[in-house]
């Protein structure tokens, strides 16, 4: 009886962790290696001035990279776990639909 409660509690904890990480990633709360760049007013004016003067411009000179990498071992583990769970559920659902399809045909 205690084993069933332990398995059930572990399942609930993993489900909550998966849903938290999944929705955090999809809503942009967790930035998973996305690069965000911001044009500042000074850089835009500098770019326009250089173009007007006919200088050779390179975008890397005008873009400020403000992305911060907040990843650590816990987030990497959570992302890996959510990918694993997604693959498992996806495989089970595909298999289930194949069985239902065979039953219908």
Handedness of CA 23, 29, 34, 37 (dihedral sign): positive
For the chain, the domains span 1-32+70-105, 34-68
Residue 32 has phi, psi (to 5 degrees) of: -95, 90
CA-CA distance, 25 to 76, in Å (whole number)? 12
pTM exceeds 0.85, yes or no: no
Is residue 105's pLDDT more than 50? yes
**pLDDT score, position 96:** 92
Q: What is the pLDDT of residues 21-65, one digit of tens each?
A: 887 777 665 554 444 445 577 777 888 888 888 888 887 777 766
């Amino acid at each position: 009886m205690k084993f069933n409660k332990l398995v059930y509690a572990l399942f609930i904890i993993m489900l909550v962790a998966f849903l938290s990480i999944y929705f955090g990633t999809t809503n942009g709360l967790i930035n998973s290696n996305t690069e965000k760049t911001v044009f500042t007013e000074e850089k835009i004016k500098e770019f326009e001035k250089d173009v007007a003067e006919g200088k050779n411009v390179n975008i890397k000179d005008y873009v400020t990279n403000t992305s911060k990498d907040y990843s650590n071992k816990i987030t990497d583990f959570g992302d890996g776990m959510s990918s694993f769970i997604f693959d498992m559920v996806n495989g089970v659902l595909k298999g289930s639909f194949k069985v239902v399809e065979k039953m219908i045909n």
